[in-house]
Amino acid sequence: MRYDKGHKDDTRRHILDVASTRFRKSGIAAVGLAGIMSEAGLTNGAFYTHFASKEELVREVLNDALTRREERHKANLENGIALETTIRDYLSTRHRDRAGTGCPTAALVAEIARHPKATRDAFTGKVADIISLMAEQIRQGSAKERRRKAIAIYSTMVGALQLARAVNDRELSDEILEDAAETAVTIASES
C-alpha cells in the first residue's frame, strides 16, 4: 500500500502525542508500547518503523514536550509577559488537574532520574534552557543572582505541582499551589 507524502512523519507525530499524554498521566514505567500503539490505532510492529526502542521514544517525548514548554517561555519573554503570570499559570488548579497535557518535568522527573545517561542528558539540556529563559524574565540582580532565583523558582514550581497532585485533600492541594505561587513570585521580585 502506498501512502501520501508526509504519512510517516504524521504517524510518528501521532505516536509521540499519544505516548506523551500517557507517560505524563500514568508514568513511563506503567505504560507499555502495546498500549501506546493500540491507542494510536497502530500495530505493535509499526512502532519499530519509527523508533528503535521505548527509551528512544521516551527521549523524543521529553525533547518534544520540553521544547514546547520552552517555546511558551520564549513567547512570554518576547511578548513582555511577566514571570508572575507564568508562575501563576503553572501553579493553577487547571494545570494540576491535567497531568496528561501538563509539564513533563513535574509529571516525570522522579522517573527520569532512573533512566540512562542519554535520556538524562536530553532532559538536563532542556531544563537548563528553561531555567535560562526564566532568568531572563527576572529583571533585578546580576546574571548569577537571576539564575539562582530562576532555579529556586522552577524547583518550587515543579515540586509544588507534584505535591499538589499527590495529596488527596483538595483543600490542602489548593493551599500548596497558592502558597508556592506566592513564594515563587516573591523570589522573582526580590532585589
Cβ contact 65:120 at 8 Å: no
Instruction: Burial-class residue 16 by CB neighbours within 10 Å (0-12, 13-18, 19+).
Output: buried
Confidence of residue 55 (pLDDT cuts 50, 70, 90): very high
Cβ contact 140:154 at 8 Å: no
Residue type at position 95: H
Cell digits of residue 81 = 509577559
Segment 112-123 mean pLDDT: 96
Quick one: angle between helices 143-166 and 83-90, nearest 10? 20
- pLDDT tens readout for residues 139-185: 899 999 999 999 999 999 999 999 999 999 999 999 999 999 999 99
Distance from first CA to last CA of the chain, Å, rounded? 64
Residue 191's pLDDT is: 66
Residue type at position 125: G
By percentage, how much of the chain surpasses pLDDT 70? 96
- pLDDT tens readout for residues 7-43: 788 999 999 999 999 999 999 999 999 999 999 999 9
Indicate the pTM of the whole model: 0.90
Instruction: Burial-class residue 45 by CB neighbours within 10 Å (0-12, 13-18, 19+).
Output: exposed
Q: Could you say which architecture CATH assigns to the domain 54-189?
A: Orthogonal Bundle (1.10)
Give the start-to-end residue ranges of the domains of the chain. 54-189
Confidence of residue 122 (pLDDT cuts 50, 70, 90): very high
C-alpha–C-alpha distance, residues 51 and 129, integer Å: 25
